[in-house]
Amino acid sequence: MTQEKRVGARSISQISPEILERINRGELETANLTEWLAVDQVALLQHQFHLLGRDEYLPTLLAQIRDQKKPSTNSTCRVIGRTLGQLILQHDDEALLEQLGSHRSDMLRCWAAYAHPYTSLEDELKYIYPFAQDAHFGVREVAWFSLRQHIIDELDEALQSLAHWAKDQNEYIRRFACEATRPCGVWCEHITRLKDTPELGLPILTPLSRDTSRYVQNSVGNWLNDASKTQPKFVKTLCETWLREHDCPETRYITKRALRSLNK
């Protein structure tokens, strides 16, 4: 899924019309969050589904988009993806799922991440694994967004499965395990059980306590910073323990980030 490396615009108004047109035609990936938020998903959907020979899906998809009470880039992406999941099941259209999941457009891959046609958490995790290690930041974020509610609903099973992900060789997979279970998270529902009993997350956090990836380190620090707002003693004690066990630059960075709210 390698594409040309670009420096994205700092504001939507600074995105060149040519770049935006290519993004909205599915010919180019977004380069940063600003571009991702600027995508005209309706235009992209109409153009690409005509090319993919799925015009018959458009009325249902467009109706679901219009029916949103508070539309946003995130909510529209979710609505398109979940509606596609239903349509794929109705039409037994596994081929479309594969086409979306391997598309050059990051937004189409985001839709595919939401379109998982599975009901068991185990099957959903297997499906989302490639998206969790996608080269594009947006697809990786949507990957854990797409499973967040199921993780909350089946937290014990999720923590057990994701503990294995926390030991994966791929830093993106390790980061997914941590980010998907953050007690407070970002733009998503909180996980009350982890806010109350953050020690449940130790099977994921402990293997990451001296991770060499800054991407992972930031996630672990943020996870514990979340927890510090409801269980400060737990976070302080855990950070002290980690520093005694391995006082290295990686752990020092993680613990500093974890304690930033408590140290204000």
- Report the distance separating Cα 75 and Cα 177, nearest Å: 23
Question: Which CATH number does the domain 154-263 belong to among 1.25.40.290, 1.10.10.60, 3.20.20.70, 3.40.50.150?
Answer: 1.25.40.290
Burial 170-191 (b: 16+ CB within 10 A, else e): ebbbbbbbbbbbbbbbeeeeeb
Measured from the Cβ of residue 230, the count of other Cβ atoms closer than 10 Å reads: 17
Per domain, the residue ranges of the chain are 14-117, 154-263
Say what the pLDDT of residue 15 is. Answer: 96
pLDDT < 50 stretches in the chain: 1
Residue 187 pLDDT: 80
Question: How far apart, in whole angstroms, are the C-alpha atoms of residue 30 and residue 36?
Answer: 6
Are 264 and 222 a contacting pair, CB within 8 Å? Answer: no
Residue 145 · residue 112 · CB < 8 Å = no
3-class DSSP state of 169: coil
- Give residue for tokens 């899924």: 1
Model pLDDT, residue 142: 97
Question: Dmax over Cα atoms in the chain, in whole Å?
Answer: 61
pTM: predicted TM-score of the whole model, two decimal places: 0.92
